[in-house]
């Protein structure tokens, strides 16, 4: 699909292209890949067609309101052949077409906002899925590493038990821990499988070897954070444009209630004589003045305005909540990194040495290994929550996709 100003690809992730000099080419390539994948999703394709249909509706609304009418008649009186031809035109006295042209502009804005909303939703869900997949793969690595360490430890315990260095209780304790770890590995692998299917559902050509969101993307995303103009948020823009469309429809209904006259010119022969006629007609809105239609259209416009105001208010609170949540997770992640600073990674070998020399009992060693694994999981979970929080914040602010200008 060729990118254009109004295509889904042109609507996607311009924040990813406003990047520091480092990793610029890589970021652009990844952003282009992501936009291409999202533009292929059926939801986005459906939204594209819906937007195209609405734009056709807008074009139809801009067409002249009344076509001229041609009338032809003939009769015979005695030996005379009589005929008449006429042309009539209804005049748009209240300028309904002007109101309809204004409505067409608003329909186009609404169509574009609806497409942007669909792209924003798909983008955020795709990034959520990639973050979740990466976290599950890291959990799986920790679980497998823990299992491998326990397998190796079991061999050492059996050797030391034969040498009389350890009792039978140590081996039984290790067996129980290893059994539990087998279940944990199975659950971790199942979680990876589920996460993979979620990503593949959203990004059609993605494969696990493609990986998750590259590390150099995150600084580019964080650099976009600021005070967002929520009126440009796709969801808000949709609600606002729909209100404006209904408001314009109320104006169309008001003008339509004004009677439009019809003027006609005719000519022919009657009784051997040439005749020329001029006609003028106008509907008499006596029995129905269409006031009910006007009131209904006004009510629908007021309803849409109230919904827009409610959504705008809700979006303000959602944005504030997302910002506070992301800051909280980001702060805790930074704190965890300060505390760990490689200690967790190095601790496994240190613990094994202490167990080998007898400074730690087998139960204490197993407990320490479990605590180490939990600490690693905590770091992964905090990183996942911080990344999900950032994506949610950019989604709530509407900055996750900004149309190219």
Q: Specify the pLDDT at position 323.
A: 93
What DSSP element (H or E) covers 134? helix 96-162
Residue 367's pLDDT is 84
DSSP 287: S
What is the overall mean pLDDT for the chain?
84
Tell how far CA 334 is from the center of its chain.
Answer: 29
Provide the whole-model pTM: 0.83
Phi, psi (deg, nearest 5) at residue 139: -60, -40
Q: Are 260 and 283 in contact (CB under 8 A)?
A: yes
Ranges 244-258, 273-287, 386-400: which has the least confidence: 273-287
pLDDT for 5 beyond 50 = no
* Exposure b/e, 257-294, CB count within 10 A at least 16 = b: eeebebebebebeeeeeeeeeeeeeeeeeeeeeeeeeb
Burial of 46 (0-12, 13-18, 19+ CB in 10 A): exposed
* pLDDT for res 167: 64
What is residue 352's predicted lDDT score, i.e. its pLDDT? 72
Q: Give the helix ranges, DSSP H, for 341-401.
A: 343-356, 362-397
Percent of the chain with pLDDT over 90: 47
141, burial (CB in 10 Å: exposed 0-12, middle 13-18, buried 19+): middle
Answer whether residue 389 shows pLDDT above 90. Answer: yes
How do residues 95-141 score in pLDDT, each as one tens digit?
898 999 999 999 999 999 999 999 999 999 999 999 999 999 999 99
| pLDDT at residue 358 greater than cutoff 90 | no
DSSP, res 282: -
What sign has the CA pseudo-torsion 12, 15, 17, 22? negative
pLDDT of 47 above 80: yes
In the block, tokens 């600073």 appear at 341
DSSP string, 169-207: HHHHHHHHHHHHHHHHHHHHHHHHHHHHHHHHHHSTT--
217 backbone dihedrals φ, ψ, rounded to 5°: -75, -35
Distance CA 30, CA 138 (A): 22
Domains of the chain: 33-203+227-280+309-395 (1.20.1600.10)
Residue 13 has pLDDT above 80, yes or no: no
Give residue for tokens 């509706």: 57
pLDDT in tens, 280-311: 999 888 888 889 999 999 999 999 999 999 99
CA distance 106 to 254: 18
Which of 336, 335, 333, 337 lies closest to 389 in space, CA to CA? 333
Residue carrying structure tokens 């009338």: 71
pLDDT at 7: 53
Angle among Cα 381, 384, 387 to the nearest 5 degrees reads 150
Task: Indicate the DSSP class of residue 14.
Answer: G
User: Is the model more confident about 346 or about 2?
Assistant: 346
Q: How would residue 81 be classed by pLDDT, with cut points 50, 70 and 90?
A: confident
- CB 343: neighbour CB atoms within 10 A? 11
Which pLDDT value is given to residue 326?
94
Q: Judge contact between 221 and 240, C-beta under 8 A.
A: no
Q: What is the CA radius of gyration of the chain?
A: 36
Angstrom CA distances, 214 to 30, 56, 188, stand at 8, 40, 22
Where residue 342 falls among pLDDT bands split at 50, 70, 90? Answer: low
Tokens 């009677």 locate to 259
- 3 vs 403: which has the higher pLDDT: 3
């Amino acid at each position: 699909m060729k990118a254009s100003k109004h295509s889904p690809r042109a609507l996607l992730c311009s924040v990813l292209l406003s990047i520091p000099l480092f990793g610029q080419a890589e970021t652009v390539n990844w952003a282009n890949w992501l936009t291409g994948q999202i533009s292929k999703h059926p939801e986005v394709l459906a939204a594209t067609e819906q937007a195209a249909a609405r734009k056709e509706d807008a074009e139809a609304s801009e067409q002249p309101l009344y076509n001229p009418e041609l009338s032809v008649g003939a009769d015979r009186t005695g030996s005379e052949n009589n005929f008449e031809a006429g042309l009539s035109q209804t005049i748009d006295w209240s300028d309904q077409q002007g109101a309809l042209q204004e409505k067409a502009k608003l329909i186009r804005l609404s169509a574009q906002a609806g497409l942007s909303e669909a792209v924003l939703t798909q983008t955020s869900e795709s990034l959520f899925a990639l973050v979740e997949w990466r976290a599950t793969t890291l959990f799986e690595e920790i679980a497998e590493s823990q299992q491998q360490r326990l397998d190796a430890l079991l061999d050492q315990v059996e050797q030391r038990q034969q040498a009389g260095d350890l009792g039978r209780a140590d081996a039984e304790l290790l067996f129980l821990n290893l059994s539990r770890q087998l279940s944990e590995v199975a659950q971790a692998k199942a979680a990876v499988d589920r996460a993979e299917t979620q990503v593949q559902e959203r990004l059609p050509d993605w494969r696990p070897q493609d990986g998750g969101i590259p590390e150099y993307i995150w600084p580019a995303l964080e650099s976009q954070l600021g005070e967002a103009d929520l009126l440009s948020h796709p969801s808000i823009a949709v609600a606002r444009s729909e209100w404006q469309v209904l408001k314009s429809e109320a104006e169309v209904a008001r003008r339509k209630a004004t009677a439009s006259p019809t003027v006609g010119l005719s000519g022919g022969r009657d009784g051997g004589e040439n005749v020329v006629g001029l006609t003028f007609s106008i509907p008499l809105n006596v029995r129905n003045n269409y006031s009910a239609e006007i009131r209904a259209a006004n009510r629908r416009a007021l309803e849409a305005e109230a919904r827009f105001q409610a959504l705008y208010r809700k979006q303000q609170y959602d944005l504030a909540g997302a910002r506070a949540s992301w800051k909280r997770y980001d702060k805790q992640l930074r704190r965890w990194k300060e505390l760990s600073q490689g200690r967790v990674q190095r601790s496994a070998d240190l613990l094994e040495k202490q167990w080998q020399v007898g400074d730690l009992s087998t139960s204490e060693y197993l407990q320490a290994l479990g605590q180490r694994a939990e600490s690693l999981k905590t770091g992964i979970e905090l990183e996942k929550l911080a990344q999900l929080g950032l994506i949610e914040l950019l989604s709530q602010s509407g900055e996750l996709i900004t149309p190219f200008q």
